[in-house]
Amino acid sequence: MNRGVVLSETSNLSVRHQWGKFFQGLFLFSTVIGLIVLGILILTVVDKTFTLVAVTNKVDPATLADRPLEELSAEELRQILRDKLRPARLRTIERDMGPIAQMGEADLTALIMAEIVKPTTRASYPLFQSLTRRAEIEAEIRKEYPDAQIYFKAWLSWDFLQRSMATNPDLAGVRQAIKGSLLIILITILFAFPIGVGAAIYLEEYADKRNRINRILQTNIENLAGVPSIIYGILGLAVFVRALAPITSGAAFGMDAGSGRTILSGGLTMALLVLPILIISSQEALRAVPNSLREASFAMGATRWQTIWHHVLPYALPGILTGTILAVSRALGETAPLILVGASSLINKDPQSVFSFFTALPFQIYNWTVRPQPEFRNIAAAAILVLLAVLLSLNATAIVLRNRLSKRL
């Protein structure tokens, strides 16, 4: 070989290796940037969730009984409510939350704290600031609020998960929001998964791709995946909340909630939102199945449906479940459609069925972050951690299921 050609080839190889190292470094840089941003996000949330607080009570809980409220029986707690609250206020509470005679000790204690003790956080300092300037902060609090109790407070606690929603951030919880989000996701999966997978099977295994109608259908599904979620909210409001109100309110089943702004409407709207994502991801999974598998099945005399059911679907199922994980993650974090469909910003009753009024974690986080009081941002940060925990738990379940199915192949 000519010496000049050899030198040219060596030079080209060196340049290609240099470009390869450049892109490797670029990809590593992108990954590091992503991890840094994620770390900053998590640290910011944690900084707001665990804070040093100054709290004052309108009534000292020690003056209500000779023992701590947690040690009192339900009847003793009811008696405190009867003694300290006016009858008109008791009637209002029973109208909104149900008879106090049927409440448990935890609900009665929370009611006493909200209606009689009324703790108020006067000041809240982020975690890192509290750790580095604690003495200075305490002196500042003593000067401004001499009677305040100063302590570190974890806004994310077991009580926060169990408590009902409230207008006081010190007493607010996410019990109804967690139940609402889980029910909405359950309805979303029940409706979107079979319809999405079924549509993907038809488009990939049965539909003639040369047919113009099928091509238009495929193009529109791909476009729908990019439509803003607020549009789906408007669609859900028009169709599920208004047009199908007799069904979504439960009136057709003798369980009328009063309007179509129910969990069922929220779940169906979310199902519409994630349906294009599910169809597209399922189609990609079906395309990844080797054609040789189908041809071998046909050669053995199997019908098309038998080939799909026994060979194509089991092979594609891990990919379909991956798409489902992405779809569920999006549905769990969406807020805009729920605002239009009618999620409640303040609701004290747990959802009893799919025809109940509802709220959800992302909507509650949004609602708290726009409040002017800084303490609402603390409980919003705690709710973000709860939402992440719920999301990771659902995804982990789906990933375990997917991995088990993959091992069987």
* Structural domains in the chain plus CATH codes: 47-164 (no CATH), 175-408 (1.10.3720.10)
Do 206 and 286 contact (CB within 8 A), yes or no?
A: no
Contact 233, 340 (CB under 8 A): yes
149 three-class SS: strand
**Residues 6+ away with beta carbon under 8 Å from 31:** none
Closest-CA residue to 288 (of 268, 316, 253, 269): 316
Kindly give the parts of the chain with pLDDT less than 50.
Answer: none
Nearest to 147 by CA among 280, 57, 21, 238: 57
pLDDT in the model for residue 22: 92
Task: Note the pLDDT of residue 307.
Answer: 92
**pLDDT digit string, tens, across residues 102-135:** 888 877 887 888 888 888 888 888 888 888 888 8
The label of the residue with tokens 């605002």 reads 339
d(CA 262, CA 344): 10
Q: Is 342 helix (H, G, I), strand (E, B) or coil?
A: coil
Q: How far is CA 30 from the centre of its chain?
A: 27
The pair of structure tokens assigned to 11 is 């030079």
Rounded CA gap, 138 and 21, in Å? Answer: 54
Element of type H or E holding 55: strand 50-57
C-alpha dihedral over 15, 21, 27, 29, to 10 degrees? -120
